[in-house]
Chains A and B, each alone.
Chain A
Amino acid sequence: MSTLRDAVPGADRSARHRDPNARRPGTRRRSRRVERLLGEHPLGLLLSSPYVAYVLVVFLIPFGFGVWMAFHDFFFTAPGVQVPHPFVGFDNFGQVLGDPAVRQAFGNLLVFLVINVPLTVVLALLFASGLDAVVHWKGFFRVSYYIPYVTASVATLTVWIFMFNGNGVVNRVLGDLAPDPTWLANQNLIMPLIAVYVTWKNLGFYVLLYLAALQNVPAELHEAAQMDGAGKWQRFRAVTLPGVRPVTSLVVLLTIIMTGQIFTEPYLLTGGGPDGASMTPALLMYQKGIQQGQPDVAAAIGLLLVLAVMILSLASRRLTERKG
């Protein structure tokens, strides 16, 4: 997403290249025709071709295949066997939308978002403002916050499982306050626990984003506000918050996009349970598409998921950028 800001295609530069004054001396006439057809440096096509070929094989063809699959009756067969895959229209989608398990999985993502987004924004902004002003141990704090982000989920989830299972250290500390049924077996606590885990894991990344944004808020604005008699809290609200709004918008967008991909956490913590309370669409796609051999249904879930993520992303952009 942020890459779009430096997305200035090579138009201006290629114009400069075609400027006759910038041409190297002694260009042969033959190259004129090649140039008109392929551009000044046909080598560029050659250098780009492996990348483009990969994009076709790994992204565009599977993308089209997935959409095709969702509208056809597709199932696995023995290798080499030719079977018809008839067009079934929206049948797969009908089946998906009528499935309470699917609805529950999408509902779980909403629970996740409601906890994860505010928690991420508030904590990242809090730690980034602290880091921006602190003098000592700055490096230590940055490194500490970032370490969970660079560590494999499989490794950190393992620790979380052992900290939060029935006789784990968290319940030992809580004593009589420990929840019953305990964390991983509790329908009401499992999705919040996953939301807290993901917040913990990714927070360092968002802290660094906010830190960069805070350092770009002009100090003059703070000074001017101070001259006008604004207190610390007023300056935070009137100067800092508007100054970091683009990053807030980005953070919300990224958490929404990442939410759609949640798979490893429920798979390792609970396998989607208890009773579907931590099931997510991505995990459901794995179970239906690969374990139960219904790739067409899984592809339909995938399309709905991407659609939901897109709608939420657009809504979040309108909400977070409107007041700018």
Chain B
Amino acid sequence: MAATHAPATSPGVREPTRQAPARRRRVGVRAPWWFVVPAISIYLFIVVVPSANGALFSFTDWNGLRADWSFVGLDNFTSVFSDRTALDALVNTLTLAAAATVVQNVAGLLLALGVNSMVKSRYVLRVIFFAPVVLTPLVAGYVWSFLLSPNGVVNDALRAAGLGALAHDWLGDPDTALYAIVLEIVWQFSGYSMVIYLAGLQAIPAEVLEAATIDGAGPWSKFRRVVLPLLNGAVVINVMLCLIGGLKQFDQVMAMTGGGPGTATETISTAIYKSAFSLGDFPFSIALAVVMTVVIAVLAGVQFRLTQRRSS
């Protein structure tokens, strides 16, 4: 169903692009350069210039209020890397992003395989599995903090199943709080991964699968050797989206734990917000933002390299 919406990725429709320049020169369709001016202006104003300034100010003692500032070298980064909370936030963020990426992708792929099959209720199921995606993340966070509370549904269900020994305050326990947030993220966004995998699955030509069946491939080896390699593009996009989303995680943490107990669920985003707007420590906050940018860039680069190698 979604394949028709993605002409750019379908190899079959790529050809016209390559022929287009020749025809363009002949007829001379004019696309004026100044059409880009409004978009570029606001992009420069909102993204490029402030980001560049952010990178620059991380080497200064700029406090956000004064107009004057001076360079302090790596001082801000030294204080970030010697700060317990910031280091906890860094570790928590990486753990959360990694766990959410793995679980959400496995769940999303399984859901996609499930609702792509012959089951009669597949259209209704897709709508249900996707519904949490449109729900406001902050609101979903509150609902889950209620479900996971000591007398919430999760503990009730455990007690009803005779597993009462496992019931406890999921968000109040430093050992489980971070994973409770991962659970919420997986519930909310598995549907997102599902539709992308579904789009990938539906782009696989039926003949390829039939050929594999004729060659005697069982369901597992068909999945492993035919379906999964053809889903490479969907995997790349999904992993990238989950990873970047997880690394920026803010809303659910604010709703569910506010970063606690202690610093057990503090993420880089909540730490940036608190150090800037509660503690007024702009230099620290901006250095932490630079660290976050570097982490995202490095992980995105690593992922890109790995997937490039796999597809070649």
A binds B: no
**Residues of A at under 8 Å CB distance from B?**
none
